[in-house]
Structure 1
């Protein structure tokens, strides 16, 4: 029998980049985390700029200050979308809103507080999803001791999973990893841990801003 042809590559144009900025910002005292400034720009603007060259379209998941986020996304015509579920139920709610709003086959998500995300995040996750024939791909890193960390909200998800995710959330589930466990998810190892650093407090942000 002839060998099976490999699946075609997933182009950047088939990806919508989603900045997850819809949280409560509890560890920052309730401020809108994505709008806190680092080196003169809101954190979400740093993430948008990193995602833009990797995707065909952009969106921002935001539940507060949506007009401000619309201005941030204006250079790229990024749409601003809100959770359809009440009470800030977590990143999966933002992901669901993105999956439903996307006009591409794939959604590439990243949190609003990770200003140094990899420039090849989309390409490497897309290649893993193609090679392993999965509908989800996400990132991992390893520390000096070889301990592996999963970064679940840095993910590539096929938009066909929207209904499954909606059912998962309707059942009261909220954990990202638990939803991934319902599916086969490719994991991609990245060498640079700093690329996945997320700012968790105003003091951390102030320290970074002075650096």
Structure 2
């Protein structure tokens, strides 16, 4: 699919509780001298037009990180950290493009061709959503549902889904025409989930 970058808004998902990091704001934790979210912003910004950050706290700090790309910071409309779908909805509402490309703030090695590969996958069947998966040497598949390209026109349907108390990402995707795209590099989708992991990768 020939989808120019300026037709895609990028979204860094940084609105979680950081429960596995002891409540720390994950995107602001440092990896090799830079905030995790900054690593993600830099990689994502090369693939999209406008850039957004979904954050429910420390919004000034995220705005400062996103300043080189004039990235706006958006917060969930729902209270109590309602999960990644709430972050996606905030991004979809704020975007002024047909497509939104999202990635979590704890994935500093996300693929440089994420937008390209997902965009190519939505075209053949007119899909509305494309997500990433990896397949290892033994054929085992791992799904990465919040690495996603989706149509912003789905915002009203997502809002209704959340209003009904639903929170499961893949359950909402199943309501629409969605495709999964296989990537070979598992490390590209690695999520840093603990302060110990952060320290280990920082020494690498």
What TM-score does the superposition give when structure 2 sets the normalisation length? Answer: 0.99
Cα distance in 2 for residues equivalent to 1:131 and 1:119: 22
* Residue pairs, 1:68-87, within 5 angstroms: 68-87=61-80
Number of equivalent positions: 204
Instruction: Please give the residue correspondences for 1:1-211 in structure 2 after superposition, counting only pairs within 5 Å.
Output: 9-211=2-204
Alignment partners' CA distance in 2, 1:132 and 1:117: 25
> Which segments of structure 1 move beyond 6 Å, counting only runs of 4 or more?
none
Please give the alpha-carbon distance, in whole angstroms, between the structure 1 residues aligned to 2:82 and 2:51.
22
Shift of 1:12: 1.2
Q: In structure 2, the residue corresponding to 1:60 is in which secondary structure?
A: strand
**3-state SS in 1 of match to 2:73:** strand
Superposed CA RMSD in Å reads 0.7
- d(CA) in 1 for partners of 2:185, 2:70: 30
1:110 CA drift (Å): 0.1
Secondary structure of the 1:107 match is strand
Structure 2: state its 5+ residue gaps.
none
Instruction: Give, in angstroms, the shift of residue 146 of structure 1.
Output: 0.4
CA offset at residue 77 of structure 1? Answer: 0.3
Secondary structure of residue in 2 paired with 1:44: helix
Residue 144 of structure 1 deviates from its aligned partner by: 2.2
Give the whole-Å Cα distance in 2 for the aligned partners of 1:193 and 1:61: 25
Post-superposition offset of 1:11 = 1.3
Deviates more, 1:131-140 or 1:74-83: 131-140
* Kept in 2: contact 1:23–1:63 (CA 8 A): yes
Alignment TM-score, normalising by the size of structure 1: 0.95
1:3 is matched with which residue?
none
Gaps of 5+ in 1: 1-7
Larger Rg: 1
Offset of 1:145 from its aligned partner?
1.5
